Amino acid sequence: MWGAGVIAGLYAVTTYSNKPADVHPQPDHWPEGAKITLARDRPTMLVTLHPQCVCSRATLEELARLLAQAAAPVRVQVLLYRPRVAPDSWAESDLTVRVRAMPGVAVLTDPDGRESERFGMSVSGQTAVYSPDGRLLFTGGITRARGHAGDNAGRAAILSILSKRQPATLRTPVFGCSIRDLR
């Protein structure tokens, strides 16, 4: 009985870790009225981040690896979710401190996820790369499973794009929590 319980528990955890989040369609071009400015001299990467989501730790590990390996510059904007009614301190966590310390990464507090919503991004860790002319080049996640860092198709695709090579894929699954479900 005990062994069956352990096996069932491991199965549940593994299934949850490898189940991608449901994501919304993203616009193929940079949306009108965006508060974030599109870089005209290099690609712009957007990353949604829920400061209370434990899955986001792996996203930040992968973002750091990606930026260390990037052959070309990229403008990185992290959209830091915060419920509109919550105090500013709600969004302060060890994840927030870590992302703000990353060189070359700008952090924009995103009350109620409005800016993320404009880009069709609804999951913590969801990443999008846009060309200088505003075309969507990549959308998806940069982790291989929920809360797990390591080699993955998302990071490889973005590195290919930044190196001006054809990536193996332009979309990858996102493994994270809905930014609105963890209020």
- Using one digit for the tens of pLDDT, what is the confidence trace for 147-181? 668 889 999 999 999 999 999 999 999 988 887 66
For 20-74, what is each residue's pLDDT tens digit? 556 677 889 999 999 999 999 999 999 999 998 888 899 999 999 999 999 889 9
Domain 2-162 in CATH 3.65.10.10? The answer is no
Measured CA to CA, the distance from residue 47 to residue 126 in angstroms comes to 6
- H or E segment and range at residue 46: strand 44-49
pLDDT in tens, 93-104: 888 999 999 999
Q: How many CB atoms lie within 10 A of CB 82?
A: 23
